[in-house]
Structure 1
């Protein structure tokens, strides 16, 4: 449940409108500029915390600024008049960002940071508004950023940027990540999967005493039982890659505001030759868990793709290459939930079949969960499925589930079916809750009814059907016994009808 007040939401809406009327209309740029300013405020908060600690402990403190009166600090420039504030932020704060090195992933993307706000009034509004936001307060700051990101959806920004949050949470729940594990996303966008994994860990590892009540009656999870893993969570657990610099800035900020101080987020095309060279640890066998919704529609120049992928699956199609990549990135026994377009499940080309064979014969394909085609509307009506697999071992039975509803209408408007919400979205008309429960209780002996929404299929049958993984290939229609009248009664009725027609014709003739 959101910890944001109606007032905070309306403040963000107002700021959003001001950016648009101020001439900054690309929603990604708006979020990026707000992120920069939030970062400026966070730096100042971190600096003040460090100074206070130094005063208490009497130990020297090496800060990022030149003391308390440094004009580049938020608390100082926010008090200047409009013209001076714009000058300081543009000519001093942003160049300072670009010089930052280390200490936070965000500094990596500051190399080309630019202030796009040219109107003094807009900057003053933005600074005043961000100054009021609860970004120093644990839970609220994450919700606040989520609310900001939800505006990408309403602005109709390309679908690759936002996988619906309830689908992400469902995938995290399928894999149940542990606080000792390492989690990656090779096409991370705004880091939705990584943030959701962090939220899942907080909820699962909060003691009864650690649960607090928020202002709006919502539960705040402090994650107090995660203490022994704190260092790993802050710096070693979360890894994301994307080749859009704006996305990476947003992803880093998203994770930082959700309590991951130093996420490992990098500018990188993970399919390319340079990935194993630059990130050898992550590129091969580096992960226990990979959650992903990789881009589908692309096809690449084969020369740019790393040969370890094209040797396994000879193709230029990104959706096939990404599955091969994820298998390479997982360590043995590592597991993944990945969204793929339906074509991956039944495509008949050699590459399609090879990939499915690789999943089934050399790894453990555990589930194919088919999603309704409206899930990614209004961006795309493409039908998709979630593949759940473990690297290594071999497949015995595959769990199939056909999700017919996800709690929202499947048209472009995506209206909610109910007011009542759980972690997997609206409660009503939502198969995700059932799918999760059936997945956790799955049994090759019991789940044999092929007319149900869920069933298990033995690997032998999948091999016989050319490794096809489309749920419709195995699902059976319910056989309904038809009821028919005896032929004699039908003949009697036909004779009666004929008689009526003859009478009517006679009456018509009489009228002519």
Structure 2
């Protein structure tokens, strides 16, 4: 089954259903059905290896017992299928009881359906959708592997939904970062705002090549950890890991910022942290109280930076995607976070990414900060990754690719200073220079405003996104001012 044919068939069916309002709901509908199909296939494998295996899903609600059409006229369809799903299946899965002793492989069913709904209103069309999904044999390793391309396309479709674009980091970016971090089997990779699981699956693809034994496979199965606040990307991430043969996908449905960072102990820390934290958002005052006074920020990305530092093991490594605002920001909390980063961690490399890497979701300029928990920073290398030759900008049809990182990968080993047109493309700055520069990390930037030529709809979308981000920044600044005034009063 090809990527386009699978998605097109589902689109054509669901387009005729009055209950599905737009592509965002279409994707949500496909995702929870896919999860049940994938989970049923995993259970077949678990049953094969364990004669005593008991499903957490009641027998009548397992995919094989209601979804598969045996062409004997007994398969549910029409109103009976709608009633079954709306009144029995989904409510029953929401009510599944779990506790601290429930294996992750079983508890994920309840977590997956906490915020799940059926949008379709036509039971005949719903039966057709179920039949298309049921055609895929997820017990076949080759077909399951091939389906990853289809799943990747679903994630890209999700990126193009205005309310959901934050969930997807381009695969080229996650693959490049993992290649530079080089995780090893036995280490655990964490993402505290994992979205659809891009960093985790890139890590798994890298780690899979290291498997040589049954013991290695067991290490692989416990090598990633994620937390995701929103329901849809959480379900996408869990399904993504199941497709990558992770039997116990440890993806917590929650907010990483809700725990006091001073309460973290050694078992809460990780050898590798890879993240593209959400930018521009703000958290409530009770969330900010989870951070030391000097680190309390109104910017979500800043708070995540503090969480990362508190949860990185000694000798651990991290790579974080952050907007330009973090590099040159001078508000008190950003300055305190950067001071902690430079004086307590080894901030060894900052990569300046070209514009439009995250197009069409946002035009905000981004950077990758590489650091480790080995010793205080001695020096930091900066490298500017220029737009590849022949490109004016990246877009939905011309996304960034892993080959666009090749000049950077070649530079990574040699670490040489580079000057282009009297501007530094790469340069090493000592920690002393950074501190004396008041922690301004906006170095080796782009020497001139790049020419950006976008399609009208992308241009409008970017302007709207920029306006929203500016409004959030203004709100955050006003909130800080009001907070200071309130303390003085």
1:403 aligns with 2:385: yes
C-alpha displacement at 1:410, in angstroms? Answer: 5.3
Q: What residue ranges of structure 2 are gaps of 5+ in the alignment? A: 70-74, 449-489
* Distance in 2 (alpha carbons) for counterparts of 1:256 and 1:465: 47
- Which residue in the other structure is 1:305 paired with? 288
**Contact kept? 1:163, 1:293, Cα under 8 Å:** yes
- Which residue in the other structure is 2:279 paired with? 296
**Helix, strand or coil: the match of 2:28?**
helix
* Distance in 1 (alpha carbons) for counterparts of 2:432 and 2:57: 65
1:177 aligns with 2:177: no
1:439 aligns with 2:412: yes
* Distance in 1 (alpha carbons) for counterparts of 2:157 and 2:366: 24
**Equivalent in 7, 10, 13 of residue 8 of structure 2:** 13
- Which residue in the other structure is 1:199 paired with? 205
**Contact kept? 1:335, 1:391, Cα under 8 Å:** yes
- Which residue in the other structure is 1:489 paired with? none
**Helix, strand or coil: the match of 1:225?**
coil
1:425 aligns with 2:401: yes
* Distance in 1 (alpha carbons) for counterparts of 2:438 and 2:147: 49
Deviations 1:117-160 (A, max 9, x none): 22112211211110122433331232221122121134445431
**Contact kept? 2:227, 2:252, Cα under 8 Å:** yes
Q: What residue ranges of structure 1 are gaps of 5+ in the alignment? A: 206-223, 418-423, 477-512
* Distance in 2 (alpha carbons) for counterparts of 1:368 and 1:196: 21
* Distance in 1 (alpha carbons) for counterparts of 2:311 and 2:262: 10
* Distance in 2 (alpha carbons) for counterparts of 1:125 and 1:408: 44
**Equivalent in 33, 54, 70 of residue 62 of structure 1:** 54
**Contact kept? 1:312, 1:324, Cα under 8 Å:** no
- Which residue in the other structure is 2:126 paired with? 123
* Distance in 1 (alpha carbons) for counterparts of 2:177 and 2:375: 22
C-alpha displacement at 1:194, in angstroms? Answer: 0.7
Question: What is the TM-score with the length of structure 2 in the denominator?
Answer: 0.79
- Which residue in the other structure is 1:232 paired with? 219
The aligned runs of 1:56-135 (5 Å cut-off) are 59-64=51-56, 70=60, 72-74=62-64, 76-79=66-69, 80-83=75-78, 84-100=80-96, 101=98, 102=102, 103-104=105-106, 105-135=108-138
C-alpha displacement at 1:27, in angstroms? Answer: 3.7
* Distance in 1 (alpha carbons) for counterparts of 2:289 and 2:424: 42
- Which residue in the other structure is 1:358 paired with? 340
1:42 aligns with 2:38: yes
- Which residue in the other structure is 1:467 paired with? 439
**Helix, strand or coil: the match of 1:453?**
strand
**Equivalent in 154, 158, 166 of residue 152 of structure 1:** 158
- Which residue in the other structure is 1:389 paired with? 371
Per the alignment, do residues 342 and 74 of structure 1 end up closer, same or farther by CA in structure 2, a change over 3 Å counting?
same
- Which residue in the other structure is 1:188 paired with? 194
- Which residue in the other structure is 1:504 paired with? none
- Which residue in the other structure is 1:210 paired with? none
C-alpha displacement at 1:176, in angstroms? Answer: 0.9
**Helix, strand or coil: the match of 2:357?**
coil
- Which residue in the other structure is 1:247 paired with? 233
**Contact kept? 1:186, 1:292, Cα under 8 Å:** yes
**Contact kept? 1:271, 1:306, Cα under 8 Å:** no
C-alpha displacement at 1:389, in angstroms? Answer: 0.8
**Contact kept? 1:19, 1:25, Cα under 8 Å:** no
**Helix, strand or coil: the match of 1:246?**
helix
- Which residue in the other structure is 1:457 paired with? 429
- Paired residues in the alignment total 429
Q: Which has the larger radius of gyration?
A: 1
Question: What is the TM-score with the length of structure 1 in the denominator?
Answer: 0.75
Per the alignment, do residues 35 and 406 of structure 1 end up closer, same or farther by CA in structure 2, a change over 3 Å counting?
farther
What RMSD in Å do the two structures reach over aligned CA positions?
Answer: 3.0
**Contact kept? 1:315, 1:351, Cα under 8 Å:** yes
**Contact kept? 1:31, 1:148, Cα under 8 Å:** yes
